[in-house]
Amino acid sequence: MTAVAVAAGARIRPRVGPGLSRLITYTFLLAFVLYVLSPFLAILVTSIAQDWFGGRILPGSLTLRWFDWAFNVTNLPGVMANSFIIAGLTIAISLVIGIPTAWALGRRHVRARNVLMTLILLPKTVPPITFALGLSREFYSFDLVDTHLGVALAHTTLALPFVVLIMSATFAGLDERVLEAGRVCGGNWFRNLVHLVLPMAMPGLMASVLFTFVTSFNEFTLTLVTYGPDTLTLTVQTYLAIGDGFLEVASAISVVLLVPSVILLLLIQRQIRPENILGGVKGL
């Protein structure tokens, strides 16, 4: 079997030996990995480097000073708390609005379904800065600027399309006959919701929560027009630090900012297969 495959391969590429072909493959792979990872590497090194100027290839020495600065000078714990509070609020609002909407779209006959879907996707398809401009004007008139709720509401406009798409696909995928069996077995709507619908929709729910969290935690454009001194988030703080010329401090904050995303990425990679979640999603 293997011998046949090798023989076939040899016939197709008679001049390139297996060693060379492998070398080429790995070179490209390595280049790709470096390209994707190099910004992270740069940030990571900057955040712990000292005397890393000019043409030096490696920093003169390593230090945790920038993290110290980040924590003391910029009130990093408070900023981090803001990011988490806002992300939490965004998750809550997105689920509360998104789940019933998704249920209606996925399981009921909705007349203006296409119009609704377009509307839901709109905030994701227009240039963020355009959307941000409109949003900020609105927020000023409602006094929502510099409140956790306000920033979370702004983030919700971005997270909601994800939640609605994922959850409506999840709900549409639920087998009506199984739910009917639940009712016939004697379960009222609440019991069937808790014992049947929720467990069966769990992968979609998990994905919604994770996506919403990442969206909010990493959001920049909309935050910039809705934040204030009390609602400074990690992304905006990073931006401000860059603006002030503290590249090392900005890098240190970025590293902190990266941690949840990396954890989530690992979680997603382990627990959730994208094809399962997005299998039924159309128009994404």
Partner 1 sequence: MGAMIELVDVVKRYGDVVACNRLNLAVDQGELVTLLGASGCGKTTALRCITGSLRPDGGRIIIDGRDVTDVPTHKRNIGVVFQNFALFPHLTVVDNVGYPLRVRGVRSAERRERAIEALRLVRLDGLGGRFPRELSGGQQQRVGLARAIVYEPTVILFDEPLSNLDAKLRLEMREEIASLKDRLGFTSIYVTHDQEEALSLSDRIAVMKDGVVHQVGRPTEIYGAPKTAFVAEFLGNPNRLTGVCVERTEDQVVVEADGQRIAAIAESDTPKVGERAVVYVRPESVRIRNGTASADESTLRATVVRSAFLGDSTEYILSLSDSVSWHLRLEHTTRLTVGEAVDLSALRAGCRAFALGESADDGTHRGASAEA
Which residues are at the interface with partner 1 (CB under 8 A)? 175, 177-178, 180-188, 191, 195-196, 199-200
Return d(Cα 241, Cα 217) in angstroms, integer.
Answer: 18
Which C-beta is closer to partner 1: that of 128 or that of 187?
Answer: 187
Return d(Cα 25, Cα 13) in angstroms, integer.
Answer: 14
End-to-end CA distance of the chain: 41
Return d(Cα 12, Cα 282) in angstroms, integer.
Answer: 39
Which C-beta is closer to partner 1: that of 186 or that of 283?
Answer: 186
Which C-beta is closer to partner 1: that of 1 or that of 184?
Answer: 184
Up-side HSE of residue 183: CA atoms within 13 Å toward CB?
A: 5
Minimum distance between the CB of residue 183 and partner 1, rounded to whole angstroms?
Answer: 4
Which C-beta is closer to partner 1: that of 39 or that of 199?
Answer: 199
Minimum distance between the CB of residue 281 and partner 1, rounded to whole angstroms?
Answer: 20
Which C-beta is closer to partner 1: that of 201 or that of 249?
Answer: 201
H or E segment at 225? Answer: helix 221-226
Dihedral of CA 190/191/194/199: which sign?
Answer: negative
Return d(Cα 172, Cα 103) in angstroms, integer.
Answer: 8
Minimum distance between the CB of residue 112 and partner 1, rounded to whole angstroms?
Answer: 21
Which C-beta is closer to partner 1: that of 111 or that of 177?
Answer: 177
Dihedral of CA 66/71/77/82: which sign?
Answer: negative
User: What's 61's DSSP letter?
Assistant: E
Minimum distance between the CB of residue 198 and partner 1, rounded to whole angstroms?
Answer: 10
Cβ 164 vs Cβ 98: under 8 Å: yes
Return d(Cα 86, Cα 106) in angstroms, integer.
Answer: 28
Minimum distance between the CB of residue 178 and partner 1, rounded to whole angstroms?
Answer: 5
Minimum distance between the CB of residue 190 and partner 1, rounded to whole angstroms?
Answer: 10
